[in-house]
Amino acid sequence: MFFLHRYFSDCCIMSLSSATQQLTEVLQCLAGPHAVPRADQLAAVEAVLKPRARVLVVQATGWGKSAVYWAATSALRKTGGGTTLVISPLLALMRDQVAAAGRAGLRAESINSTNIDDWDPIFEALENNELDVLLVSPERLGNPAFAQRLPELLARTSLVVIDEAHCISDWGFDFRPDYQRLARSLLAAPNTAVLATTATANHRVTEDVRRQLGSGTDVFRGTLARTSLRLSVIPGLSAMERYAWIADALPALPGSGIIYTLTVAEAERLAGFLRGCGFHVPAYTGQIETAERLQIEQQLRNNELKAVVATSALGMGYDKPDLGFCLHLGSPGTPVAYYQQIGRAGRALSHAEAILLPAASDEDIWEYFATANIPSQDSADRILSALAQQPQSVVDLEGITAIRRGRLEALLRILAVEDVVRKDGSKWVATGRPWIHDTQKWEALLVGRREEADIMRNYAHGRGCLMAYLQQALSDPDPAPCGKCSVCTRHVPAPGLRPSEIAITKARSFLREQDHFFEPRKIWPKGCSRKGTIKAKLAARAVAFAEDPGWTAELRELSRDSETAIPSGLLDGAVSVLQRWKHTWEQRPALIMPAPAPALEMQRNRQLAAHLSTIGRIPMVDAFSWQGAACPEDSPSTVHVQHLEKSVRLQTHPDVSAGPVLLCATNARTAWTLTVAAALLAEAGLADVMALVLHRRP
């Protein structure tokens, strides 16, 4: 069996000339026969090759950080060293790194959630000393099968690379508790060299990562300004105009690129609009299958696509050096996150465009993401109290603690990093360690996030040189006007500050013809009077979803005052949805009913139902009543349904022989109100229920 000496001997330390040779060979494999190493790259390689090295490299995208660890790996392997272990946070990034290692003359494999069947052959290759590089996703430490193999893996490792190292910092824009937990386990190996790299770290993140790496860490930090990028902001456009602007701009933008959106729904909607305008533009989100992601990545790399409309799922490390542009529909919550995404463009070009189309709704999204993962002592206490009784699944914890699923899972990950809880199969158990809320830490983190939001706000309003704002956010020592951004030059890319009327008309037509479907609820949550499978049949559609760009003005008016009439445009939109929907009906609705709601909203539900009753000549029956207060906001499913079971009554029993029922609601979020109403109708003998909602809130 291959045995790796855990300690570097003096003979393993490369001379300056040998390190130069290894780095030169790797660079020429990656960048061409004329590539030569820079002094700062060479210094970083030399630092990594020292015994028990701890090195942090903070350099701009395109600087050549991967060349440093491939060169160090090559040097170590030629002197009898073991495998290099690379911790990589995204599947797209891992795929690119495996390919890059191969081009550098190294054999690389990856272990992640998509290739579990390949783990045994990979570990066999590792045991036979046939593997130069192994890439691992951070979530693997939570997998018992992988955790058992971690000591063996570390025993065969000479170098650990923590790529995208800002992810292990609480201050990082993309902090991941699982990533931090894995990094801590790897850093506990005292005789293995560690290299951490990132292109997106300000001073707070740099100091936090340096502290985690330990005393004596060598930090290599350069300017993070990108001279190849021309930054632009196109302010003041409505949601519909932003869609139109992108359609007008695409033909003039250089090469191929990425259009970023803040949500999955926006990515899918914008991609659909652009395809309708004749562009070959797919959507890329975390919800598509791995095979489809791979295909889209390769098509973009081969310039077979003009653009990909993507969420942050296509971000860190995606390697297309000739990417010509990055365009943002809406502003990321921090300038560091924005810099990371635009860093995909112009890596091997002298000029690339980075264009931001800010939206009025951006700041609500920023505030949500700034606070969503901030834990509270009360929430932690509720979780630990529940786990003190017995192990619990996430579903059980949601019902017991009344914490919504997303926040619950985020807090469990934070508690797991602190070894307060751990996963045992499908359930969580308490370790017995207490958890005390570090108020000073979390308040400071929230203040820092809001300070970054201020920088992003100023950037989006064009209140100064755009590159200087990004340099400020990234703690560059001398932020200075770039002389080439849209603020410095007072020039924006075509089509200028406003799109064409033709494109606006296309956008309006497309956006107002989008139907939004509700995924029906299948199982009643635990703790409710109804149990098991939901038997009522409910099909539901909405006119508008979230910050729907087709209905911005009408949704603003709808939300302004619950006592005002429904905007006529939304009433017309409801009729249009029904006209499109009717082609799939087996039977036309026989009755229309206002969906149950608290008093003021119930008035609007009645207005909508009466309008559709008149237009469709279908009898309206006002059958539901609501007792008490509205459902508490952000409550988990169990609490929500328990409240509905107390509040909603089927007061008037309709004619059960009439046929299908159409429920009408002004607003909906979780669809539980509609589901409880459908259950009451089913129990009265009307099992076939449809629902039309004006606005489905996220």
**How far apart, in whole angstroms, are the C-alpha atoms of residue 602 and residue 235?**
38
pLDDT at 15 over 50: no
Q: Which two tokens stand for residue 542?
A: 């909405």
Residue 95: HSE in the Cβ half-sphere, 13 Å Cα cutoff: 19
Coil/strand/helix, residue 91: helix
**How far apart, in whole angstroms, are the C-alpha atoms of residue 648 and residue 72?**
67
Contact 189, 197 (CB under 8 A): no
pLDDT-derived band of residue 7, with 50, 70 and 90 as boundaries? very low
Most confident range (mean pLDDT) of 136-145, 152-161, 315-324 is 152-161
**How far apart, in whole angstroms, are the C-alpha atoms of residue 49 and residue 14?**
7
Predicted pLDDT at 182? 66
Pairing mode of beta strands 421-424, 427-430: antiparallel
> First and final CA of the chain: distance in angstroms?
56
Q: 233 has which bridge partners?
A: 356
pLDDT at 10 over 50: no
The more confident residue out of 640 and 526 is 640
* CB atoms closer than 10 angstroms to residue 660: 18
Q: For residue 631, give the DSSP letter.
A: P
Most confident range (mean pLDDT) of 7-16, 186-195, 547-556 is 547-556
Using CA atoms, how far residue 3 sits from 61, 79, 131, 246, in Å, is 37, 14, 14, 57
Output phi, psi for 27, to 5 deg.
Answer: -60, -40
What is the rounded radius of gyration, in angstroms, for the C-alpha atoms of the chain? 28
Using CA atoms, how far residue 282 sits from 259, 275, 278, 304, in Å, is 10, 8, 12, 11
Verify cis geometry, omega within 30 degrees of 0, for the bond prior to 477. no
Q: 194 has which bridge partners?
A: 54, 160
pTM of the model: 0.82
pLDDT-derived band of residue 3, with 50, 70 and 90 as boundaries? very low
Range list of β-strands (E), 81-163: 83-87, 108-111, 133-136, 157-162
Predicted pLDDT at 486? 97
Burial of 425 (0-12, 13-18, 19+ CB in 10 A): exposed
Handedness of CA 127, 129, 131, 132 (dihedral sign): positive
For residue 625, give the nearest of 549, 676, 565 by alpha carbon. Answer: 676
pLDDT-derived band of residue 559, with 50, 70 and 90 as boundaries? confident
Mark 527-549 as b/e (b = at least 16 C-beta within 10 Å): bbebeeebebebbbbbbbbbbbb
> HEC states along 388-448?
HHCCECHHHHHHHHCCCHHHHHHHHHHHHHCCCEEEECCEEEECCCCCCCCHHHHHHHHHH
Contact 89, 167 (CB under 8 A): yes
- Read off the pLDDT of each residue in 464-471 and give the average, rounded to a whole number: 92
Q: In sequence order, which residues have a C-beta less than 8 Å from that of residue 382 and are 6 or more positions away?
A: 400, 401, 402, 403
* CB atoms closer than 10 angstroms to residue 252: 10
Residue type, 356: L
**How far apart, in whole angstroms, are the C-alpha atoms of residue 67 and residue 53?**
17
- Read off the pLDDT of each residue in 295-321 and give the average, rounded to a whole number: 89
**Chain segment 26-77, per-residue pLDDT in tens:** 888 877 788 888 899 999 999 999 888 999 999 987 788 989 999 999 989 9
Contact 525, 641 (CB under 8 A): yes
Predicted pLDDT at 16? 52
Which H or E run contains 670? none
Pairing mode of beta strands 648-650, 624-626: antiparallel
- Average pLDDT for the chain: 88
Burial of 572 (0-12, 13-18, 19+ CB in 10 A): middle
pLDDT-derived band of residue 13, with 50, 70 and 90 as boundaries? very low
**Chain segment 213-247, per-residue pLDDT in tens:** 888 899 999 887 778 899 999 999 998 999 999 99
Mark 214-226 as b/e (b = at least 16 C-beta within 10 Å): eeebbbbbeebbb
pLDDT at 341 over 50: yes
pLDDT-derived band of residue 17, with 50, 70 and 90 as boundaries? low
Predicted pLDDT at 2? 35
Domains and CATH numbers, the chain: 10-221 (3.40.50.300), 229-366+446-511 (3.40.50.300), 376-436 (1.10.10.10), 516-696 (3.40.50)
Which H or E run contains 115? none
DSSP sequence for 497-531: TS--HHHHHHHHHHHTT--EEPPPP-BPPTTSSS-
For residue 218, give the nearest of 70, 64, 48, 41 by alpha carbon. Answer: 48
**Chain segment 251-305, per-residue pLDDT in tens:** 999 999 999 998 898 999 999 999 999 999 999 998 898 889 889 999 999 999 9
Q: 325 has which bridge partners?
A: 257, 353
Predicted pLDDT at 295? 93
- Read off the pLDDT of each residue in 471-487 and give the average, rounded to a whole number: 89
The more confident residue out of 319 and 289 is 289
Q: For residue 484, give the DSSP letter.
A: -
Range list of β-strands (E), 19-122: 54-58, 83-87, 108-111
**Chain segment 66-90, per-residue pLDDT in tens:** 899 999 999 899 888 999 999 887 7
Contact 178, 138 (CB under 8 A): yes
pLDDT at 1 over 50: no
Q: Which two tokens stand for residue 550?
A: 């087709």
